A = this chain, B = another copy of it.
Amino acid sequence: MATNPGYRFVIADDHPLFRGALRQTLEGLFDGVVIAEAGSLEAVSKILEEGDEIDLVLLDLNMPGVRGYSGLMYLRAQFPTVPVVVVSANEDPGTIRRCMEFGAAGFVPKSLGTDTIREALSTVMAGDLWTPADVDLASMPADETAKLVQRLSTLTPQQVRVLMMLSEGLLNKQIAYELGVSEATVKAHVSAILQKLGVESRTQAVIAASKIEVGHWQSVGV
């Protein structure tokens, strides 16, 4: 129906087949849309860093090398101006809620019809948030991890990068090398992270981060 010229989307999903299906859907919904595909978080970052003024990222929660919400957290921290819509097979209210807390602009279950997807993306492109109608975000508040999510959201972009490197078990020295800064800077970031997360060691910070990243699936699994 309507034409939305020149939108630039990025589809981030590790499954090529699904990327193709989503691409077709989007091309049918938005005239003149330009779509880039990314199979990993690194690929998404590279695209966003090229400064092509991406209008929207459609992100699968389950990307290789990215456990749970860390991919979303990373994108929101590194590229705060680019809206991210999470696309997931999971439509559990807790998952949706957490995605929104991490700054997602919308949550689109993979089961949705094209009409609803169109509505969702239009809403997001207009600058509003969108979630499935039957989800009550106000309910089911403050579990143990809610506070932690909030704390994580106060981390600066660079701090997010450092935290993720901590979660890979890197030394300060190694992180400094990777980021091209001095070890003193890394130590400053780490200290800030510890304070913001309310923990007392890098190991505890890693544990806290891992709880958020995978904590949800535990309660679903088994």
Interface residues of A, Cβ cutoff 8 Å to B: 61-62, 67, 88-90, 166-169, 171, 199-204, 206-207, 210, 214, 217-218, 220-222
A89 to B169, CA, bound (A): 33
- Nearest CB of chain B from residue A186's CB, rounded to whole Å: 14
Asked whether, in the complex, the Cβ of B210 is within 8 Å of the Cβ of A89, the reply is: no
Asked whether, in the complex, the Cβ of A166 is within 8 Å of the Cβ of B203, the reply is: yes
Asked whether, in the complex, the Cβ of B201 is within 8 Å of the Cβ of A169, the reply is: yes
A171 to B202, CA, bound (A): 11
- Given A169-B199, A169-B204, 17 other A-B residues pairs in contact with their CB atoms under 8 A: A61-B222, A62-B221, A67-B218, A89-B222, A90-B222, A169-B200, A169-B201, A169-B207, A203-B206, A214-B214, A214-B217, A214-B218, A217-B217, A217-B218, A217-B222, A220-B221, A221-B221
A67 to B221, CA, bound (A): 11
Asked whether, in the complex, the Cβ of B207 is within 8 Å of the Cβ of A217, the reply is: no
Counting chain B CB atoms within 10 Å of each CB, the highest count among A61, A88, A214 belongs to A214
* Nearest 4 interchain pairs by C-beta: A169-B204, A217-B221, A62-B222, A203-B203
A67 to B219, CA, bound (A): 10
In the complex, chain B residues whose CB is within 8 Å of the CB of A202 = 203
CB closest chain-B residue, reference A204: B169
A107 to B62, CA, bound (A): 29
A214 to B218, CA, bound (A): 7
- Nearest CB of chain B from residue A111's CB, rounded to whole Å: 13
Asked whether, in the complex, the Cβ of A201 is within 8 Å of the Cβ of B88, the reply is: no
In the complex, chain B residues whose CB is within 8 Å of the CB of A168 = 207
CB closest chain-B residue, reference A67: B218
